[in-house]
A = this chain, B = another copy of it.
Amino acid sequence: MSDPRLLQTLDRLGADGLISADPGAVMLLTGHHADIETGPSVFALPALVVAARDGDPVLVASADDAQPSATCVTYEGFTVAPIARVANARRALAEAIGRCAGDRSAWAIDGASVPAGALPDLPGGRPVDDAVSSLTAIKTAEDLAAVATTIAVCDAGHAAAREAAPAGASELDVWQHVRHAMERRAGGRIPIMADCVAGPRAAQIGGPPSPVAIAPGEALLIDLVPRVAGMWGDSCATFVDGRPDSTLRRAHSTARAALEAGLAMLRPGTVSGDIDAAVRAVMAQEGFAYPHHTGHGVGFAWHEEPRIVPGATTVLQEGMVVALEPGVYGEDWGLRVEQVAVVTESGPQVLSGHELALERAPG
Contact = CB atoms under 8 A, between A and B. Distances in A.
A84 interface: yes
Contacts of A112: 40, 45, 85-86, 115, 117
A1 interface: no
A80 B115 contact: no
Nearest to A80: B309
A87 B127 CA distance: 11
A209 interface: yes
A129 B115 CA distance: 11
Given A80-B292, A176-B180, A292-B80, A191 B116 contact: no
Instruction: Tell me what chain A mostly uses at the interface: helix, strand, loop, or mixed.
Output: loop
Nearest to A133: B83
B133 A127 contact: no
Given A39-B191, A302-B38, A80 B111 contact: no
B115 A115 contact: yes
A249 interface: no
Contact of A42 (B36, B208, B301): B301
Given A23-B39, A115-B113, A117-B128, A188 B210 contact: yes
Contact of A188 (B43, B114, B172): B172
B115 A114 contact: yes
A303 B188 CA distance: 24
B183 A172 contact: yes
A287 interface: no
A211 B118 CA distance: 38
A220 to B, nearest CB: 16
A175 interface: yes
A268 interface: no
A23 B40 contact: yes
A81 interface: yes
Contacts of A16: none
Contacts of A37: 36-38, 191, 193
21 contacts: A36-B37, A37-B38, A37-B191, A37-B193, A38-B192, A38-B225, A38-B227, A42-B301, A45-B112, A80-B293, A80-B309, A86-B129, A112-B115, A113-B115, A114-B115, A117-B127, A179-B179, A187-B211, A188-B210, A189-B208, A189-B209
Interface of A: 22-23, 36-40, 42-43, 45, 78, 80-81, 83-87, 109-119, 127-130, 133, 172-173, 175-176, 179-180, 183-184, 187-189, 191-193, 208-211, 225, 227, 292-293, 301-304, 307, 309-310
